[in-house]
Amino acid sequence: MEIRDARPEDWPSIWPFLRQILAAGETYSLPRHPTEEWARAMWMLEPPGRTVVAVDDAGTVLGSAKFGPNHLGPAGHVSTASFMVAPDHARRGVGRALGEHVLDRARTEGYRTMQFNAVVETNDRAVALWRSLGFEVMTTLPEAFDHPTHGYVGLHIMYRRL
């Protein structure tokens, strides 16, 4: 598996699983059925944001991540990141590899901390992964996410120094 910067021609490989993940409505505080144009602008960031893809030896896109500033001005050293792993390629360490890559890159680019703004508390695998990568649940905002099967659940805010 290689992780490299996303190129415009990667988007057609990202959009199917990104659309599928948003449509499920279980993990992202984003529209469940966005237009492709909206989704592309949201995911394929312009600098200083960065978007990367994880690809296998055959060049198949397994997942993608983006990171950039979470705040601006006097808090511009706080980064944030988002991750999508193609469901067909889950449980193969793609999320962890993307997470480690993004942490390294964010550190290299001079960010001092990373903040996740909205980790759905029922997303056990993501919460466990981020904890194992050094993130702490700082708080859980009650009733902040309307889960399709669990109803109103909390959103974790997770944070770590870089």
Residues that bind a copy of itself (CB under 8 A): 22, 25, 28-32, 71-78, 112-113, 115, 117-118, 138-139, 141-148, 155, 157, 159, 161
User: Smaller CB distance to a copy of itself: residue 1 or 109?
Assistant: 109
3-state helix, strand, coil in the chain (%, to 5): 35, 35, 30
User: Smaller CB distance to a copy of itself: residue 96 or 160?
Assistant: 160
Q: Which two tokens stand for residue 37?
A: 């144009």
Query: Minimum Å distance from CB 146 to a copy of itself?
Result: 5
Query: How many C-beta atoms lie closer than 10 Å to residue 40's C-beta?
Result: 16
Q: Which two tokens stand for residue 128?
A: 């466990």
User: Smaller CB distance to a copy of itself: residue 58 or 72?
Assistant: 72
Query: Minimum Å distance from CB 86 to a copy of itself?
Result: 20
Query: Minimum Å distance from CB 115 to a copy of itself?
Result: 6
Which among 111, 110, 117 has a CA at the least distance from the CA of 137? 117
User: Phi and psi of 124, rounded to 5°?
Assistant: -55, -40
